[in-house]
Every structure is written in structure tokens, then in C-alpha cells.
Structure 1
């Protein structure tokens, strides 16, 4: 069985790492380069770098900052936010990122998934899905969680896989930043219907939350708040998971 991955998130706005709750009430959490280096030293397996305002501000990602962060660490590094064309995506890879992810543009132009997958490989093509739960089910949201597309989350996950996505980064808007645990029902729904790795995101507050996410089928689990605040390190979480029979990277 492949080892489960502990992933740290660097949400960037104005060149700083920020964090909010349910995609709102954003506050400053520090310098991205310093945090990236710290997380690596504390056992993080991977990092995800998201320029959270790029899409809504109609601009390309801050590639210079991405390049600077990538030059300082040795763990896998995924970059996204505002990516709209293949040239920019390829440029991100050439500037040091291991993978790219796309969200809003992929929903609006699904053909881009096949095109970029053919160009850089499916393993390097991650589709991020921001999912919101309503009384009627789970739906895909775009533009930083502000637009409900009306598209069923699981249906979109399956389509993304069929078009060449090599991995899904699934964030629950309802649990994001709450520290009350991942949406395991959402994780189970998606992992039960796709055959590519799924990263769970949104709601991590304790090592037990990671265990529940992995038992629900996630291949990786991403967190921001608990790492930014120093409540736990990745090594703390790995020790707990190992004690509870979860295979993790040491």
C-alpha cells in the first residue's frame, strides 16, 4: 500500500501566506519562503502553493514567487491559481514546480485538461475542486468559492479523470478553516468513483482528522491552519498515524 501523504498549503495574497474560514475572513499567516522551509524541516511531504486572488483579479499567477519558493525546498511542490493557458502552465513547471493545478478554468474549458495532460503528463496535472454542500448535495464552486456552477461534484471528478487529470485536490468549502475535521462523506463519495489519487482538503484540526480522511479513502490530506499556528507539525501527525496503523512516509 502506498504511503499516505501529509501536505501543507500556502495560500498566497499580496506576496504573503494567508488563511481564512470557509474562504472568508482572510488574515496574514507569514512569509511563504520561510514557512515552506519550516514545513519541510518538520516533515511535510509536499506543498501546494495557491495564488488565491489570481482568478478574480484576472491576472496570471505570481510565477516569480513560485520560483523563489521552489528554489528553497526539496520536496514536491504544486502550483496553481489563475492559470489559463498552456504556456503559463508549462512555464510554472520549468520554473521549478513539480505539478500544476487548475480549477475555475478547467470547469469553464474542460478541454484544457487533455491538452495540458498531453503536454506535461497526467501525473503532473492536478484538478482542484472546491465543493460546497447544500441540502440537495455537493456542487462545484469556482472563482475562489464564490460561484456555484450547479455541477455535481462527483460527476465533475469523474469527467476530470476521463480527460486526463492525474490527481484531484478536493476542498470542502463547508469545513475549510473550521478545524472540525475533513468532510469524510465527500471524500468517500469521490474516492469510490474515481481511480486516481484524491487529496482531502478543508477542516484539519487534529491528527485524528487525518486518520479519518485516510480511512475514508484519501491518498493525501492537506492542511494550512494547524501548521501555520504551530499547533502540530507534520512529524507529530505522522507519529500518531503510524501508531494507528496508517502507512506514512518517514
Structure 2
């Protein structure tokens, strides 16, 4: 199977050590949604238009997650990704319902640069290596939903925190890297949608054991939260609810990180309120 053509982003090359600021867009049946701890979802707007807005604000990447894809056993974001990829020239990652090479190819063919796999990988870890071998590790993101355990540590969950896997998050992250994942998206279920800050202990525990980039997600609302995640080892930070509710934007976030000396990309043009 031939690899899908890749879009090239010189400013965001592998050798660039800038911290990446990512817009995360969770989608349910064509609606941008957001909840708290992956429950109580509310509609937050149009996922295509919001992505374009974040691109013009200076987002380094866009992350789309189809939150009901595993339920329906297919990803429904192809039309949205195709539309956004024609106007937003930053890397696009898409997750949800990706269980084989065919489903990965469908998304890469319409403009996605990476695919994020969670549920299918916990059931058949070989899918990580298959996608990595076919399209390159840079296109393979292991998505992990982490739930803190009362006795300590975290369990990897699936289906938006509904289903238990019995997998230890840190050990699963290490295994995923060994199987060819080029990046790990670690989402704290406990902090998701709270806008009260990220689980820095979780971020530290994962980044300490893997040598591939880690995207931290869950709880970020202001630049201080991103700073804490970066200092805990994250190389990228995903924002969702704070963006969708217009309580911040990428211009403000980038300025806050620059103020404390964290290296971030300087967009050629940042437009707020497009």
C-alpha cells in the first residue's frame, strides 16, 4: 500500500525545538462538542469554521477526535478534514475509529497528516507497527486516555473514559513507542474540560520513560498551564474548551509562553477574531 502524499511545513520540521500549541476539536456527529471529564457534552460550534479560526490565530497544529467513532466503528470526519486541509496549512491529526490501514489511509488521503489510534491499539497493538511501517512513524500517534487510580498510577481507558483496559498508562506508552508510534497524545480524563490545569504528575511519569514527543491534553486553559506541562516534559500542549468558549486565543497563549522564555513558533501572520 502506497503512502499518502504528505504536506510539508518547514516551520514545523522535526528539527524545530519550539513547543507546539495545538487546538483540539472533539466532534460528535458533525458538531464541535466539549464536556467535563469526557461527560456531559455540550455543542460548542462548527468544527470546520472553528479550526479555520484557530489556524488564523496561529495554532501550530489541529487535532480532531471523533468521539463516537468507536461506537459506530468508523470515522466520520473525512468531509471536515478535506475542507479544512484546503485552507489550514498546519499539520492535522485525526483520531477516532481507526482500526486498520484502510481507515488510516482514508483520512490521510483527504488531508490528515497523522492518525491517532486508541481503542484499536489496546485490542490489537500490532496496528501501531502496521501504520508506522506503511506511512512512517511521524504519521502514527498513540492516543491514551488516562484515569488516575486510587492506589496510585493511571489506567488506560477507551471510548472516552467509559471502558477499562487494565493497561498501566506508563507501560502502555513505552510499548506504543516500541511498536512504532512517533508521538503520544496523553489525555487526563480527571482534568479534561475542567480548565483548572493539567496533571503534571501524569505528564512527568510518561515523558520520563519515552523518548518520543508527548502532547499533553486535559485541563489547559491559560499560558501558565502550558508552562507547567512543558516543564513537566511535554513537547506540545492541546487546548480545547478555553478556545471554544473564547476565554483565550493562540495569540495570548503564545505571548504568555514567550514571556517566561519558552520557545514557540512566531507565525508570519496572526489574526484574532477572523
Q: Deviations over 1:98-154 (max 9, x none)?
A: 111100001111001111100000011001000000112211001221012111000
Q: Secondary structure at the match of 1:213?
A: helix
CA distance in 2, matches of 1:43, 1:64: 23
Q: Secondary structure at the match of 1:7?
A: strand
Alignment of 1:185-224 (within 5 A): 185-224=201-240
Query: Which residue of structure 2 aligns with residue 20 of structure 1?
Result: 35
Equivalent position to 1:248, from 264, 268, 271: 264
Alignment of 1:8-87 (within 5 A): 8-87=23-102
CA distance in 2, matches of 1:78, 1:12: 13
CA RMSD of aligned residues (A): 1.0
Runs of 4+ in 1 over 6 A off after TM superposition: none
Residues 122 and 164, structure 1, Cα contact 8 Å, conserved in 2:
yes
Residue 58 of structure 1 deviates from its aligned partner by 2.6
Alignment of 1:84-233 (within 5 A): 84-136=99-151, 137-233=153-249
Deviates more, 1:222-231 or 1:51-60: 51-60
* Structure 2 length-normalised TM: 0.89
Number of paired residues? 250
CA distance in 2, matches of 1:124, 1:61: 19
Residues 61 and 80, structure 1, Cα contact 8 Å, conserved in 2:
no
Deviates more, 1:127-136 or 1:70-79: 70-79
CA distance in 2, matches of 1:199, 1:164: 16
